[in-house]
Amino acid sequence: MHRVLVANRGEIALRVIRACRELELETVAVYSSADETALHVRKADAAICIGKPAARQSYLNHDALIDAARRSGADAVHPGYGFLSENAEFARRCEAEGLVWVGPSAAAIEKMGDKAAARRLAEAAEVPVVPGTHGTVTPEQAVSAGVRIGYPVMIKAAGGGGGRGIRVAHGAEELEGGAQQAAREAEAAFGNRALYLERLIEAPRHVEVQVLADGHGNAIHLYERECSLQRRRQKLLEESPSPALEPSTRAAMAASAVRLAEAAGYVNAGTVEFLLDDAGGFYFIEMNTRIQVEHPVTEMITGVDLVKEQLVIAAGEPMTIAQADVSQRGAAIEFRITAENPDADFQPSPGRIDGLELPGGPGVRVDTALYDGYSVPPFYDSLVAKLIVWGRDRAEAIARGRRALEEFVIGGIHTTVPFHRRMLADDGFCRGEYHTDYLAMSA
């Protein structure tokens, strides 16, 4: 590997470019016509326009990306997160073109991307799963499956992600209608109307485990991230360690995640996601076959550069760390800063940045591609920055987060900075007593 095409935009593209530079790898940025002035375009060694603003005509355009790799002499592709990062067809296309895919194989993406198949694999690896169907069901088969599982149940898209294609049913009538709606939504979003059912665990915690595996038989975990603070199943804030885990549960959950990665023959970075019930039981829900938005939380508590490890593994080398090298040090919290107005039902707020002041000081990290005068385009995800703070313990991390959020100024647009300030004044959050339904129940 000598030159990496970064098939993404915004802060994650910048993050990959920086990791490549430290490994003395050249980088090629791609951009839509709406991103001509974007910071990742300036920071890469080369940059190629791949199309019009709409993602399907640029960042989701397989042909344009492959052509950019050919024209630029890139020999590897890093997809970041979102866009094509979990698209097995694109990963296979890159492999066929002789490009190194910085991520798991297309086969692994397919295996773990099919939620029903991943569930069966987890069961075979003796990883706890939520009671549910053992395979996919049609909307017509859902009602009889619901009777066997017991209500309430969650209807999920087998090929889905990001909270889409999900419905909750408390009885047969709700299940029948919800399954039809979920199938239509799944077909529109993922081209796959297959469903599976799981018993609904009410007010659970959402806890995920970061794993790394290389092509030399090594697989490790880098502990967990608590991701329970969500709005409409979209994560808003993540932290580690989870305030909900006992040491024995933490160890069992981490071991389960590694066991699943090994069973899947997984290579590169991945995240195994679990639900945690109020009795301390944990259940596998899915595996994300890419780097996560919240990966800096893990980097802050372990000192491991996950993106550099991705690149090293993709180059065919053993990862640079062993399980014995990994420990949790202190506590870290990530605040997702989006261009949305939290006081107007989180309405999008694109526009020109008029005044930007980033927080600093010990234990403070900001991942962003913003600069003063930059115009946030309306075409893509609203994430504009990630504020990550570290403390010797959770109390210090919260205090540092308060201070950093007070310093954070993004003028010209609405952002979720005020929302996060309010969360750090919330007694339930500060006690660590929250769950995936916390915001909905307190609204």
Query: The CATH number of the domain where 165 resides is what?
Result: 3.30.1490.20
Closest to 287 measured CA to CA, from 133, 167, 110: 110
For residues 205 and 436, the answer to whether their CB atoms sit within 8 Å is yes
Q: What is the pLDDT of residue 233?
A: 87
Q: Specify if 107 maps to a domain.
A: no
How far from 19 is each of 5, 48, 338, 383, CA to CA, in Å?
13, 20, 24, 20
290 part of the active site: yes
Is 0.85 surpassed by the pTM of this model?
yes
Say which range, 72-86, 148-162, 192-206, has the weakest mean pLDDT: 148-162
CATH number for the domain harbouring residue 17? 3.40.50.20
| Tokens coding 220 | 């490790």
The domain of 179 spans: 131-199
Q: Specify if 308 maps to a domain.
A: yes
For residues 166 and 205, the answer to whether their CB atoms sit within 8 Å is no
**Whole-angstrom distance between the N-terminal and C-terminal Cα of the chain?**
50
Closest to 22 measured CA to CA, from 239, 308, 359: 308
Q: Which of 93, 290, 394, 400 is catalytic?
A: 290
Q: What is the pLDDT of residue 163?
A: 64
At 286-303, the pLDDT tens digits run: 999 999 999 999 999 999
Q: Specify if 143 maps to a domain.
A: yes
pLDDT (average), residues 248-260:
98
Q: Specify if 325 maps to a domain.
A: yes
Query: What is the domain count for the chain?
Result: 3
Q: What is the pLDDT of residue 411?
A: 98
Q: Specify if 337 maps to a domain.
A: yes
Q: What does the mean pLDDT of the chain come to? A: 95
Residue 214 and residue 168 share a domain:
no
At 321-359, the pLDDT tens digits run: 999 999 999 999 999 999 999 999 999 999 999 999 999
Residue 172 and residue 39 share a domain:
no
Residue 417 and residue 271 share a domain:
yes
